[in-house]
Amino acid sequence: MDSFSRIDSLVKSWMHVARSEIMQNFEKEIKVWTKSGRNDLVTSIDRAVENYYVKQIQENFPSAKVIGEESYQKEIDYKTSGMVWIIDPIDGTMNFVKQQDHFASMIGIYQDGIGMRGYIYDVMQNDLFWGGPEIGVFCNEDRLQKPPDRNLRNGLVEISMPFLVHNYRSLQRVALESSGVRIYGSAGIQFIHVLQGKCAAYLSYLRPWDFAAGKILAQALNLQVNTIDGCTLDMLSSSDVLVATKNAQKDIQCLVAPAR
What does the binding site for a copy of itself look like in residue numbers (CB under 8 A)?
38-39, 94-95, 98-101, 153, 155-156, 161, 164-165, 172, 175-176, 179-185, 193, 196, 198-199
What residues are paired with 240 via a beta bridge? 205
Q: Please tell me whether 251 is known to bind a ligand.
A: no
Instruction: List Cα–Cα distances, 3 to 65, 78, 86, 159, in angstroms.
Output: 17, 24, 18, 37
Closest distance of CB 258 from a copy of itself, Å: 21
Q: Closest CB to a copy of itself among 183 and 231?
A: 183
The span from the CA of 131 to the CA of 134, in Å, is 8
Closest distance of CB 223 from a copy of itself, Å: 16
Closest distance of CB 181 from a copy of itself, Å: 4
Q: Please tell me whether 149 is known to bind a ligand.
A: no
- Going 41 to 47 to 50 to 54, the CA torsion angle's sign is positive
Q: Closest CB to a copy of itself among 117 and 150?
A: 150
Q: Closest CB to a copy of itself among 80 and 179?
A: 179
Q: Please tell me whether 91 is known to bind a ligand.
A: yes
Q: Closest CB to a copy of itself among 85 and 191?
A: 191
Closest distance of CB 18 from a copy of itself, Å: 22
The span from the CA of 85 to the CA of 1, in Å, is 14
Closest distance of CB 238 from a copy of itself, Å: 19
Instruction: List Cα–Cα distances, 124 to 100, 103, 113, 204, in angstroms.
Output: 8, 8, 31, 23
Contact 168, 251 (CB under 8 A): no
Q: Closest CB to a copy of itself among 114 and 176?
A: 176
Q: Please tell me whether 70 is known to bind a ligand.
A: no
Contact 191, 235 (CB under 8 A): no
Q: Please tell me whether 234 is known to bind a ligand.
A: no
Q: Residue 90: what residue type?
A: I
Burial 218-227, CB ≥16 within 10 A → b, else e: bbbbebbbbe
Please state the residue numbers annotated as binding site for Mg(2+). Answer: 69, 88, 90-91, 210
